[in-house]
Amino acid sequence: MQLLLTRIKANRLRTACRYSTQLLKDTYEAINAHNPRLNALPHIHPPSSIQEANGPLSGWSFAAKSNIAAPPLPTTCGSHTLASYTSPFVATAVSMLEQAGARMIGTSNMDEFGMGSLSQTSVHGPAHNLHPEHSSALHSPGGSSGGSAAAVAARMCRVALGSDTGGSVRLPASWCGVCGFKPSYGRVSRYGLASYASSLDSVGILARSTRDIRDTFNIVSAPDRRDMTCMSKSLRTRIHALSASREWISRDTECASEPLRGVRIGVPSEFWVTELSPSAVDAWKQGAAKLSSLGCDIIPVSLPHIPHTLPAYYTLALAEASSNLARFDGIRFGTRHMPTLSTRANASLKYAQTRSMGFGDEVKRRILLGTFVMSARAHEHYYLPSQRIRRLVQREFNRIFALPNVLCTTNTKADARNVDKVDAILFPTATDTAPVQGTSDNPVTAYVNDVMTVSANMAGIPAISVPFGLHNGMPLGLQIAAQYGDDDIVLRIAHYLEPQAA
C-alpha cells in the first residue's frame, strides 16, 4: 500500500512538472510575440535560468515593477540615474511569491519613479497597450504601473506586482482590461519598494482574474518586521474578527441565487465629475444594476470632500517625493556625472549636475513643486490644509462604512442598525478609455487622470478595478472600495462583478 501511494505521488509530481514546463513555454512565446511592440518588460530572465519549484503557486509566472527590488535584475525605477543599479536585497513580496513556487520572469516598465499616469517617461522608452488589437495606433497602458498591466493583458505573465500611490495599479488595469488591486495600507510589506510618497505607497497586484489576485494576495499579505508600516499580526486578527461580525451578509455563496444578498453598495455622487465620459457613466450604471441583480442593496452616499482630494493628494505626494528622492545625489545612490572644471570646487554644483542629468523633466518638476510646498512660507498655506483634507476624507469614509475603522475604534462588531451605512462603494476607475500614447504633453492633463483613484490612497482603504465592458475596442473598468482592512469583501464583490463570473 505504501509503495502504491509513493507511485501515485511521483506520477502527480511528474504531471505537475510537465504542466509547469508548458506554462513557462507559453509565457516566453507570448513575450517573444508581444514585448517588442508593447515594451512592457525591459529586463527578462532567460528561460534557462528559470528553475522549477514546488508550492501553492507552482507553475505561475510573475513580473515585478522596476521600482521593486528583484536581483539579479536591475532596479531602475525607470530612471537614468538608476539605470545600472542592482539591489543587494530582495523585496519581501517578491521573496514570498518565489517561496510559494511562483517564478519571476522579468521587471516591468513604468513611469520614472512612479511619477506619471501614461507610462511614457521611462528611460526604457514608453510602454504600450495591447488594445485595440490589430490596430496601428499605440495606446497608453496607463501609469505608472503600465508595464505590469500590459504584460498581464498580453499573457506574458500570470500576475504582476505594481506600486499604487494614487491609482498607479488601478488606472492601468482599467485601460488594459485586467484586474488591479490596491490592498489596505500596510497589508503588504513595502520592504524593497523604492519610495515615492511613503504614506501613500502600497504594493499592488495585477492579474486577469480576481481569483488569481486573491491567491496572490493570500501569499504576500503577512506581517514583516522589516517594514514599520506593515500591519502587525494582532491588528490583522482584530480586523478579521470585525469582518466576521457582519451577520447580515449571506455566507451561502454556492447555493444562493443571490450570492451577495445583504451586501450594501454605496454610489458616491461626488465621483460624477465633469470629465466623466458617457461610456464610463454607462458602465457605472450597468455595474450597479448587475450588483443589484446579485442581491446587493444600492444606496446613494455622499463624500463631500472628494472634490478636494486631487489637489491635496498632489501637495502631499510631491512634498514626500522631494524628501524621498533627496538620496539620489550620485554619492549615496544614483549614477554620478563628473563635474566640469568650473564646478569641481563647488559641492552644490556637483549635486545639481548629477540630479539634473539623472532625472527626467517630470521628476524634476515634481521635486521642485514638493520642495516649494515644504518651504517655510508655503507650508502653512498648502501642506497643512492638505493634511486636514486628508483627515476629513478618512472621517467621511468612516462615516459611510458599516464596518468600523479598526484604527479609530475599540468596537468589536460592525454596525448593522444604520441602514444608511454601506459595506463597499462602486465608482468608475477612469474618466475615459486610454488615449493614444504620446498625444498629450500637458502635465496637468496627466494629473487629472488620477481624479477617480487618489481618494483610496488618501484614506488607506482597499480598492480594486475590474474590467467592465469595451468602448470602441478599448476596455473600461469599475472600482470597488471598502473600509480600511476590509480587503476580503472587496475581493468577494469584485469576483461577482467581473465578466468571467457570469
> Which active-site residues does the annotation give?
65, 144, 168
* Alpha helix stretches (DSSP H) within 105-232: 146-153, 170-176, 210-220
The per-residue DSSP string of 54-85 comes to -STTTT-EEEEETTB--TTS---TT-GGGTT-
Query: Which pairing describes strands 474-482 and 463-471: parallel, antiparallel, or unpaired?
Result: antiparallel
Task: Please give the Cα distance from 119 to 40 (Å, whole number).
Answer: 10
Q: Could you tell me how many residues make up the chain?
A: 502
On whether the CB atoms of residues 469 and 154 are closer than 8 A, the answer is: no
Question: With 0-12 CB in 10 A as exposed, 13-18 as middle and 19+ as buried, what is 227?
Answer: middle
3-state secondary structure string, 348-366?
HHHHHHHHHHHCCHHHHHH
Distance (Å) of CA 174 to CA 158, 177, 285, 454, 490: 17, 5, 16, 15, 16
Task: Please give the Cα distance from 170 to 157 (Å, whole number).
Answer: 18
H or E segment at 18? helix 2-38
Work out the end-to-end distance of the chain between its first and last CA atoms, rounded to an integer number of angstroms. Answer: 44
In sequence order, which residues have a C-beta less than 8 Å from that of residue 340 and are 6 or more positions away? 353
Task: Please give the Cα distance from 40 to 26 (Å, whole number).
Answer: 17
What single letter denotes the amino acid at residue 361?
D
The per-residue DSSP string of 397-441 comes to HHHHBSS--TTT----S---S-TT-BSEEEEES-SSSPPBTTS--
3-state secondary structure string, 215-242?
HHHHHHCCCCCCCCCCCCHHHHHHHHHH
H or E segment at 164? strand 159-164
Torsion of CA 329, 332, 336, 340, to 10 degrees: 70
C-alpha cell at position 474 = 478599448
Q: What percent of the chain is helix, strand and coil (3-state, nearest 5)?
A: 40, 15, 45
Task: Please give the Cα distance from 401 to 243 (Å, whole number).
Answer: 12
